[in-house]
């Protein structure tokens, strides 16, 4: 008798020994054979939901919630993680998120923090590896997953965030929240997802303000309150050779701001009663001659 011809009861016993938060192992067992796939007909109705959530994986707000939604998400994320070579994606992204989820106090894989609860979740660290490119003339914007912190060179189709469903589906915060609201920029719509806001949901919200034109006051606020380097080692954001006019020309939109600085992800501001996530940035090396800097837009494919 081969392994795959074992009685379904024994296969179920083997399956039950797999870690209930290891989405990669369960999808591997699911796809091993029709016999092992049949084991999952015997699991609890919310098995795939609990498995995904323990792995830090959620459904996008735009997705339909059908009986196989979480199973399909688990399979898609696992298959992508097995093959993706991106240093921020792949199996390591799931492993990192599992660790973050397991560190949450009073952890319940099915719990979503609701709007109004006095709770300050930890933002997913993956946002520091995301940047934006687009075309202001056509109001087209795309998010990219960078390979190195803040690196914006050599972004290809394979770096486009939509090519990485594993990262898109990761929860934006730990514990997951049904509403994530933002500070720093005016007019960012809150990201909403009753089952837990994902990275993809947050990016969709941010795209709504990418073509807003900043005022001088906006730039002053961003420069003085959301740059993380600390004196006496603080680097100036813009070279001393740049005039105010040069700065305004370099940042015609919020989208352009993400080319001028490095996004370091989210943190909470000084207002301890606010659960808004603030953006934080670090200086990017800019040329001393502002005429050498060009905000490169990218054409839609």
Compute the chain's Rg from CA coordinates: 22
Which carries the bigger pLDDT value, residue 39 or residue 156? 39
Please provide the average confidence, as pLDDT, over all residues in the chain. Answer: 84
Could you report the per-residue pLDDT of 224-250, keeping only the tens digit for each?
A: 766 654 444 556 778 889 888 888 888
Q: What six digits make up the tokens of 181?
A: 């609201």
pLDDT at 231: 46
Q: Mark out the alpha helices in the chain (DSSP H runs).
A: 8-16, 23-30, 34-39, 47-54, 69-83, 90-102, 165-168, 199-207, 216-225, 244-250, 254-260
Instruction: Kindly tell me if the per-residue pLDDT of 297 is higher than 60.
Output: no
pLDDT 10s digits, 39-84: 999 898 999 999 999 889 999 999 988 999 999 999 999 999 999 9
Task: Please return the burial class of 241, using the count of CB atoms within 10 Å of its CB with bins 0-12, 13-18 and 19+.
Answer: exposed
Region 18-38: what's the mean pLDDT? 91
Residues 186, 212 contacting (CB under 8 angstroms): yes
Query: How big is the CA angle at 127 (ends 125 and 132), to the nearest 5 degrees?
Result: 165
Q: What is the mean pLDDT of residues 243-258?
A: 88
Instruction: Tell me the pLDDT band of 221, cut-offs 50, 70 and 90.
Output: confident
Task: Write down the pLDDT at residue 232.
Answer: 47
| Average of per-residue pLDDT across 277-292 | 85
Residue listed under structure tokens 């050779």: 241
């Amino acid at each position: 008798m081969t392994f795959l011809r074992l009685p379904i009861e024994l296969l179920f016993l083997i399956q039950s020994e797999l870690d209930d938060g290891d989405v990669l192992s369960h999808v591997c067992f699911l796809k091993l054979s029709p016999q092992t796939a049949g084991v999952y007909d015997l699991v609890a109705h919310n098995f795939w939901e609990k498995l995904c959530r323990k792995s830090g994986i959620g459904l996008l707000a735009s997705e339909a919630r059908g009986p196989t939604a979480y199973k399909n998400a688990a399979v898609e994320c696992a298959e992508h993680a097995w093959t993706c070579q991106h240093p921020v994606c792949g199996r390591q992204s799931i492993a990192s998120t599992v660790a973050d989820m397991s560190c949450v106090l009073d952890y319940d894989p099915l719990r979503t923090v609701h709007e109004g609860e006095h709770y300050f979740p930890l933002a997913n660290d993956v946002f520091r590896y995301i940047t934006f490119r687009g075309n202001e003339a056509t109001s087209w914007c795309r998010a990219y997953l960078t390979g190195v912190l803040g690196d914006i060179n050599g972004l290809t189709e394979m770096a486009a965030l939509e090519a990485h469903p594993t990262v898109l589906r990761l929860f934006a915060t730990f514990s997951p929240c049904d509403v994530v609201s933002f500070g720093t920029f005016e007019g960012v719509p809150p990201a909403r997802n009753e089952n837990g806001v994902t990275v993809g949901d947050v990016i969709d919200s941010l795209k709504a303000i990418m073509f807003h034109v900043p005022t001088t006051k906006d730039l002053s606020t961003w420069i003085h309150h959301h740059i993380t380097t600390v004196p006496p080692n603080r680097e100036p954001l813009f070279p001393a050779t740049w005039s105010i006019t040069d700065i305004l020309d370099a940042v015609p939109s919020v989208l352009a701001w993400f080319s001028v600085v490095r996004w370091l992800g989210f943190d909470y501001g000084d207002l301890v009663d606010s659960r808004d996530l603030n953006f934080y940035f670090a200086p990017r090396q800019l040329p001393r001659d502002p005429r050498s800097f060009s905000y490169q837009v990218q054409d839609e494919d």
